[in-house]
Amino acid sequence: MTHLLNLINELSVTMHAGAIIAFALLVALRRLAPHVRDEHVIRSFRSYGAGIGLSLGAVMGTEIWRHITTVNPGEALPGALGLDFSTAALTCWSARAVCLFVYWMSYIVLEVWTLEDCRRLDQNGVVADADAYATATSRVSRHLGFNALLIACVVIDGALARSLS
């Protein structure tokens, strides 16, 4: 069971982090391809939302399980979700949990509030106000870049924790 959950975790982290980082780069570098319009990039990101959301759900579920079994093995809730900084490996696992929590909250803000202007301005494939849409896309680009940095920290922390364990 442990190996299966680890496999699910690794696959879902790879799928989620890869998509977030790829879309962050695509949105940030969209100006380098003159034939690519802002709304095409944002529509692509929004259309992949189910894949990103499902992979994030798998990441969160398996990470909570992993945190309980790695950082606080044998403890029953409520103490099982505590942070432990007693060794280098446990410090990395705890830092990963903190980064993942901050990322999760930031991703919720991105999906619910930051993308809302793009959704509102892009109805049925027609952008109502191009200037307002460009401003909204700029906010999405910054927020997506921040989220890409956070999820990269989660991935690096996990790799470091595994190498120290």
Domains of the chain as residue ranges with CATH:
2-68+81-164 (1.20.120)
What DSSP string runs through the chain?
-HHHHHHHHHHHHHHHHHHHHHHHHHHHTGGGSTT--HHHHHHHHHHTHHHHHHHHHHHHHHHHHHHHHHTSTTPPTTGGG----SSHHHHHHHHHHHHHHHHHHHHHHIIIIITHHHHHHEETTEES-HHHHHHHHHHHHHHHHHHHHHHHHHHHHHHHHHHH-
Q: What is the pLDDT of residue 66?
A: 80
pLDDT, one tens digit for every residue, the chain (165 residues): 778 888 999 999 999 999 999 999 998 888 888 888 888 889 999 999 899 999 999 999 998 888 777 766 666 665 567 788 888 888 888 899 899 999 999 999 999 999 999 999 988 888 888 899 999 999 999 999 999 999 999 999 989 988 987
Supply the pLDDT for residue 74.
63
The rounded distance, in Å, linking the Cα atoms of 56 and 27 is 20
Q: What is the pLDDT of residue 148?
A: 96
Give the per-residue pLDDT at 89. Answer: 84
What's the pLDDT score for residue 23? 94
CA distance 71 to 78: 13
| Predicted pLDDT of residue 105 | 96
Report whether 72 contacts 79 (CB < 8 A): yes
Between the two ends of the chain, the Cα-to-Cα distance in Å is: 20
> Position 80: which residue type?
A
pTM of the model: 0.87
